[in-house]
Structure formats: C-alpha cells, structure tokens
C-alpha cells in the first residue's frame, strides 16, 4: 500500500494533471488504484467522467472525500488498493492537512514563477506541521509547467534547493499542449495520440524519480 498526495497551497500548478496521469500510469501497469478527489472544484472527478465517456471504463476507482473525513476514509480504503493517489486543491484547508497526514509520499509541483516560489514556504509550513504526526513521509518537489528554454527553470530549482527538508527530484515537466489535450479527452499523456514523445519522457522521468514504473508492476 502506498498513498501519494499531490499538494501545493498555490493553485494552478498542474496538481490534478499530475495526479490523474499517475493514476492512469499505475493502473495500466497492472495495479489496483484509488483516486481520491479532495478538491472542491472536483476536477479529478471531471477527468474520470470524461475518461469513462471516451473509453467506456476508467480502469481505477475514484471517490470524492473532504475535510477530516478524507483522513478517516482514506485509512479505511487504502489497504484495499496497491496505490492511492490524492488530489488536493490549493489553499490551506482541512482536506489538505488530512491528505498530508496519511501520505507516504507528498509530491509538490512547482512552477518556475515568482508567485509560486513565494508560496513554497507556506506549503512547507503546513507540511512540516504534518511531519509532527507523519514523520516518515517522503516530501518531493519538482519543476512543472516549465519553459522549454531559458534560465527560469534552473533558478527555480536553485530556489527549491534552499529548503533542505525538501527532496528536489531531477525532473522538469515542460508546459506542453499534449497534457491539456489529453486531459480534455480523459486520457493520460502516455495514451494520447498523436504521441508527444518529449511529454511522455518527462512524465516517465517523474515516475522513475519516485520509484515507480509506467509499464511494469513495481
């Protein structure tokens, strides 16, 4: 059993895109996967509905949970699955804190933009509080929605490195049309055609960095 929470108090960092692509990759690798949508916008559930419309079936289980109930129900449900992926909306909420409390891995997508970098200390403050009762959690950050070129990506990485409590993954996911295009059809970037090789490689690098594989059982 592994519980992965994709979190950031800053909105618009591609949390749902990362979470849904993780769910699909793991389910296609033969795992029994639970997707928990803890965001009031319910974007992960919208993705799931679109996926069912496109494919006729989704290949994983998806539920909506919020507040303290997210923590209690996750602890009940997660043992029934190989992986549980929790998508949490931006802002410091009870749902966010509940999702951090039960996670084995916390993934923090960070845009190479000033507002996003300025919000990182606030995210870490909440996570460090969660570490008080979840001390073994692995906390990882990576650069996402990055520019295809330029110095901003490296400057963002250097900024993240200033926080020793964070594990900076050697991953940069560029802002590519393949991600929103795939989402619009309920597909992962690895399923979408025409295949964007660079987008697929970047997402696979994220899977590898957290010890997962896209095409085989872990």
Here the tokens at position 145 are: 């929605």
Residue 149 has pLDDT above 90, yes or no: no
Residue appearing with tokens 């895109």: 17
Record the pTM.
0.94
Residue 217 has pLDDT above 60, yes or no: no
Residue 152 has pLDDT above 70, yes or no: yes
Is-contact 107 166, C-beta < 8 A?
no
Is-contact 33 85, C-beta < 8 A?
yes
Q: What percent of the chain has pLDDT over 90?
A: 89
The predicted pLDDT at position 1 comes to 64
Q: What percent of the chain has pLDDT over 70?
A: 97
Residue 56 has pLDDT above 60, yes or no: yes
pLDDT tens-digit map of 7-30: 999 888 999 999 999 999 999 999
The phi, psi pair for 77, rounded to 5°, reads: -85, -40
The predicted pLDDT at position 216 comes to 41
Q: For residue 83, give the H/E element and its range.
A: strand 83-87
Range 191-205 average pLDDT: 96
Q: Which domains does the chain have, with CATH numbers?
A: 2-209 (3.40.50.300)
Here the tokens at position 189 are: 């970037």
The predicted pLDDT at position 49 comes to 98
Q: For residue 77, give the H/E element and its range.
A: helix 68-77
């Amino acid at each position: 059993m592994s519980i992965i929470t994709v979190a950031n108090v800053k909105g618009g960092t591609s949390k749902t895109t990362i979470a849904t692509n993780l769910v699909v990759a793991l389910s296609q690798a033969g795992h029994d996967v639970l997707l928990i949508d803890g965001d009031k916008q319910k974007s992960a559930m919208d993705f799931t509905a679109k996926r069912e419309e496109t494919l006729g079936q989704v290949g994983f289980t998806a539920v909506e949970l919020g507040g303290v109930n997210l923590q209690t129900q996750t602890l009940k449900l997660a043992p029934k699955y190989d992986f549980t992926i929790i998508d949490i909306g931006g802002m410091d909420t009870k749902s966010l804190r509940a999702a951090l409390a039960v996670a084995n891995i916390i993934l923090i997508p960070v845009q190479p933009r000033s507002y996003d970098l300025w919000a990182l200390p606030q995210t870490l403050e909440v996570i460090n509080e969660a570490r008080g009762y979840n001390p073994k959690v692995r906390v990882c950050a990576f650069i996402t929605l990055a520019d295809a070129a330029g110095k901003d990506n490296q400057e963002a990485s250097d900024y993240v490195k200033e926080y020793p409590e964070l594990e900076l993954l050697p991953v940069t996911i560029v802002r590519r049309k393949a991600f929103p295009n795939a989402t619009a059809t309920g597909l992962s970037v690895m399923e979408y055609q025409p295949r964007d090789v660079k987008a697929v490689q970047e997402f696979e690098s994220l899977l590898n960095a957290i010890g997962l594989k896209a095409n085989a059982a872990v």
